[in-house]
Structure 1
């Protein structure tokens, strides 16, 4: 199974998220889930399960320096820190704490990208052209 998980860690959380919608449209066989730092435990559980059960997963984290903290997303981050092949983390924006956390784990594939690059990175990583 291939998965795309979108995590929004910003101060201005929006209901409509264009990136997950674009992935759903262009890659309908990919399981897509979007969450934010304050998503309830059930959604967090589904996100963890999606990460654990997928053979390949792209996790796109939208963050900004003004975000107060990582909230309930820490459990997901801990799962990402585990050494497992087939995962790519895309970071949208600047978040120094997150960047330091990922830099301390060189086994994690991390790319800092702009919004316009996300879809192409997802397609490339998941083998779609």
Structure 2
């Protein structure tokens, strides 16, 4: 059964190297890890959607700041996360009131706001249930 970790960087200063995604990749070699940002091309976003749909369990970590305005480009991914009856955890690092309201309106989605240093621990808790 496939498990996935998607790291989505919506900040204005996206970096090529994502330490959190790398930590998850090293700590959980059995988990498929994909990192993308709001400017990722359609092919990468399509792959992310497919990964979400095909995985038995998935954790999606969204790194955002108050400036994150690129939500339109990730709507297909967000809509997939809103599906009921799926084993998913959405983690938000950083402050993004709009995303927090979107997820608060969907109590069936497991959603947590944490600091970046807590992400790996949350992934461990979720995947080992």
TM bin (shorter chain)? over 0.9
- Give 5+ residue unaligned stretches, structure 1: none
Moved more, 68-77 or 52-61: 68-77
Deviations 1:2-44 (CA, angstroms, capped at 9, x unpaired): 1000001111111000011011111000000001011000000
**Equivalent pair of 1:8/1:37 in contact (CA under 8 Å):** yes
The alignment's TM-score, normalised by the length of structure 1, stands at 0.96
Measured after TM superposition, the shift of residue 82 of structure 1 is 1.0
Q: What is the aligned partner in structure 2 of residue 58 from structure 1? A: 59
- Partner SS for 1:59: strand
- Give 5+ residue unaligned stretches, structure 2: none
Moved more, 37-46 or 65-74: 65-74
Equivalent pairs counted in the alignment come to 128
The alignment's TM-score, normalised by the length of structure 2, stands at 0.96
- Partner SS for 1:5: strand
Which 4+ residue blocks in structure 1 deviate beyond 4 angstroms? none
